[in-house]
Amino acid sequence: MSRDHVQSAERPSPAAALPGRSHPDTGPGPGSAETPFLELLARGASAEAFEQPVLLARAEAQPAERIAALEQAKLLALRVRSELEERRRREAELSALFETAHDLAGLRDLDAVLRAIVQRARSLLGTDVAYLSLNDPARGDTYMRVTEGSVAARFQQLRLGMGEGLGGLVAQTARPYVTEDYFRDDRFRHTRSIDTGVRDEGLVAILGVPLMLGHHVIGVLFAADRRARVFEREQIALLGSFAALAAAAIDTANLLAETRSAVAGLERANEIIRDRSAVIERASDVHDRLAELVLRGGGVHDVAAAVSQVLDGTVEFTDTTAAPAQALESSRAEGHAVRHRDDWIAAVAAGDELLGALVLRGHPGLDPVDQRTLERAAMVTSLLLLARRSAAEAEQRVRGELLDDLLDARDRDPRLLRERAARLRADLDATHAVLAARLDGGTVDADAEADARRRLWAAASHLAATGQGLDAARDGGTVLLLPLAPGDTATDLARRTARQLGTAVHEPVTVGASAPVEHLTARPDTVAAAYAEARRCLDALRLLGRSGDGSAAEDFGFLGLLLAGERDIAGFVDRTIGQVVAYDERRGTELLRTLDAYFACGMSPARTKDELHVHVNTVAQRLERVGRLLGDDWQSPARVLEIQLALRLHRLSAGPVRPARH
């Protein structure tokens, strides 16, 4: 037997080696053309292995259809394999970039981060060497900072003149450059020192990408092979990503160095300050306190309290009307604190606008450093006031726009309205009351009135923001949409709001509230109708001489019909006897008829039973049911008057109650 025959006998046939191959006697089954290629994909076979099923089919002289199917399945499998390899490559690249970014985020040692970048670049690009050079502005050249895979000491210590070699071309153009054969490439200037170092290292193909900080090249990141090689576009982009991370690491390290230098300088300055007098120590103390206050969101009164402790005196923040006018104007014009009798006045100003003053009481002797401390505190106070004003105005504008949309009954998407309200920490699905507030101080000075209105709007905005509600300026006053807490009534909310707003603006503020409203986004006119009701309540309060008070529409009963500009008869009837009307309509009972007869008979059950021709126990049971519906106090004089008026209005609007049977 020949040697070829022996090897053939000992070695399994290609057909037997292929997984999933059908027996040649039976032929391929349905869909079996893809089976061998799927198994090759599953075990990650090489591209050459995908030719074997086709070659085997041809060797076995299988039908042309079978061979064509295998060819098509092979091409598809190779495409899938290529896509899988590309995804694995991208996954590895992204993982390396992520790990490098993680190293950069926890930067402690710049050299370690740069080494990690160069190592990962070399690994992913599969090059023999990777290295990074940085520019040295002091010496006017470039030096090798980090190398990976290098074996030549001269190459690792190489310094290049600016504009020399491939790196010089990259630095000049701020663009990546690649050469397949370094020594045959004449696009850049060769020098003996560079060529000697590259020759010692044995490099042939080199790719260089710039390290950029802004528009400036600070160095170059290289990947190189000791054989001729073509770098793909994806590999150039990947090395550019690593270069960007390297530049960021260098920039971060520089910033950290500058920060450490600045901190060291501050520490030296603090040492000098500690060696100075107690006055300088107090100045340093107040600076620290003011900075801490600003960072934690303190207010102007917190600033005044902190300065009081440092200056060992009483410092108060006052508005412009409470400070001495002449001293305040002098301080604003000069930009310094000025003495007024035994006090010191520091204007709190923003440009030409006076926002108030810091007043140091009973401290006539003030050294220059303490004076400067008071002035800086005034400056910090002005910044806090401006920041608070800007934030309040922005939030007030957003709250006002949302409430305007609700008041104007615009056809808006309820979902969008809820999302806008949620961003303002307001819940439009909760039970609310609409409140109309107006100043009642009265003044002939237009400027003073405008200033009072601004204070009212600012106070209402603060109240809405802290109460998770909305507010808007409207009709010369302000309107608020505030949620009702469990157990709270619209009357309680109105009185509390009038008291809070009046305290804030130092003038009487009258507040009228609507009845509680729910599902504000269900009907477009819900908030508008509630605002009209609150306005009527506000007008009623002012007509009754109750300026500076707060009340809800439900408090006035039938008087609200007489005092309001619009007669809400249906609303009054519904609030007064609506539950009884609804009960009769649901159950077919005669509670309304019984009430009418009861009042007509002088509230006598005995006479009422004769009027209705029923047993007295029936009358008692009906009246007991009325009590459960209207409340235990329904027979009090005030409630009786309202119930009788509501019965009369209901009879006039819905037709007479059936006459009693005799």
Write out the DSSP string of 525-592. Answer: THHHHHHHHHHHHHHHHHHTT-TT-EEEGGGTTTHHHHHSSS--HHHHHHHHHHHHHHHHHHH---HH
CB atoms near residue 52 (< 10 Å): 17
Give the type of residue at 163. Answer: G
Q: Are 208 and 222 in contact (CB under 8 A)?
A: yes
Sign of the torsion formed by the C-alpha atoms of 112, 116, 119 and 125: negative
Write out the DSSP string of 387-409. Answer: HHHHHHHHHHHHHHHHHHHHHTT
CA distances from 5 to 56, 419, 516, 562 (A): 19, 82, 101, 121
Q: Any alpha helices (H) in 312-367, and if so which ranges?
A: 325-334
Lowest-pLDDT choice from 29-38, 276-285, 374-383, 643-652: 276-285
In this prediction, residue 201 carries a pLDDT of 93
What are the structure tokens assigned to 640, written together? 């009786």
In this prediction, residue 395 carries a pLDDT of 60
CA distance 383 to 332: 15
CA distances from 459 to 84, 468, 538 (A): 64, 14, 19
Q: Which residue has the tokens 């910044």?
A: 383
Q: Any alpha helices (H) in 424-480, and if so which ranges?
A: 446-466
- 634: part of which helix (H) or strand (E)? none
Instruction: Give the pLDDT mean for 631-645.
Output: 86
CA distance 588 to 442: 55
Most confident of 108-112, 272-276, 631-635: 631-635
How many percent of the chain have pLDDT more than 90? 14
Of 397, 399, 403, nearest to 528 by C-alpha is: 403
In this prediction, residue 207 carries a pLDDT of 93
Query: Could you tell me which residues come within 8 angstroms of residue 249 by beta carbon, excluding any fewer than 6 positions away?
Result: 104, 107, 110, 113, 114, 117
In this prediction, residue 660 carries a pLDDT of 39
Q: Are 647 and 592 in contact (CB under 8 A)?
A: yes
Q: List pLDDT tens digits, range 493-529.
A: 999 999 988 888 888 999 989 888 888 877 768 888 8
Give the type of residue at 431. Answer: T
Rounded to the nearest 5°, which phi and psi values hold at 478? -140, 150
* Bridge partners (DSSP) listed for residue 144: 133
CB atoms near residue 373 (< 10 Å): 26
Q: pLDDT category, 202, cuts 50, 70, 90? A: very high
Please tell me whether the overall predicted TM-score, pTM, comes out greater than 0.75 for this model: no
Lowest-pLDDT choice from 1-15, 209-223, 561-575: 1-15
How many percent of the chain have pLDDT more than 70? 81
**CA 194, chain centre distance (Å):** 54
In this prediction, residue 560 carries a pLDDT of 56
CA distance 595 to 629: 13
CA distance 538 to 497: 13
Q: Is residue 313 classed as helix, strand or coil in its secondary structure?
A: coil
CA distance 464 to 628: 37
Sign of the torsion formed by the C-alpha atoms of 259, 262, 267 and 273: negative
In this prediction, residue 124 carries a pLDDT of 79
Instruction: Give the pLDDT mean for 613-632.
Output: 91
In this prediction, residue 659 carries a pLDDT of 42
What are the structure tokens assigned to 652, written together? 């006039």
Write out the DSSP string of 220-270. Answer: EEEEEESS--PPPHHHHHHHHHHHHHHHHHHHHHHHHHHHHHHHHHHHHHH
Of 641, 654, 490, nearest to 569 by C-alpha is: 654
Q: pLDDT category, 655, cuts 50, 70, 90? A: very low
CA distance 246 to 220: 10
Instruction: Give the pLDDT mean for 307-314.
Output: 79
In this prediction, residue 120 carries a pLDDT of 84
Of 506, 539, 531, nearest to 435 by C-alpha is: 531
CA distance 450 to 59: 100
- 607: part of which helix (H) or strand (E)? helix 605-612
Q: Are 527 and 406 in contact (CB under 8 A)?
A: yes
CA distances from 271 to 42, 266, 284, 311, 526 (A): 70, 9, 11, 22, 67
Q: Are 290 and 299 in contact (CB under 8 A)?
A: no
Q: Is the pLDDT of residue 14 over 60?
A: no
CA distance 515 to 619: 33
CA distance 211 to 503: 63
Q: Is the pLDDT of residue 627 over 50?
A: yes
In this prediction, residue 97 carries a pLDDT of 64
Instruction: Please provide the average confidence, as pLDDT, over all residues in the chain.
Output: 79
In this prediction, residue 465 carries a pLDDT of 83
CA distance 540 to 533: 11
What are the structure tokens assigned to 169, written together? 């071309």
In this prediction, residue 179 carries a pLDDT of 92
Q: List pLDDT tens digits, range 425-453.
A: 888 888 999 999 998 766 556 777 777 88
Q: List pLDDT tens digits, range 598-612.
A: 989 989 998 998 999
Q: Is residue 23 classed as helix, strand or coil in its secondary structure?
A: coil
Residue 521 sits at the vertex; the CA angle it makes with 520 and 523, to the nearest 5 degrees, is 90
Q: pLDDT category, 26, cuts 50, 70, 90? A: very low
In this prediction, residue 243 carries a pLDDT of 86
Q: List pLDDT tens digits, range 133-149.
A: 998 888 888 899 999 99
In this prediction, residue 562 carries a pLDDT of 52
Helices and strands of the chain, counted as H and E runs: 24, 15
Task: Tell me which DSSP letter residue 659 carries.
Answer: P
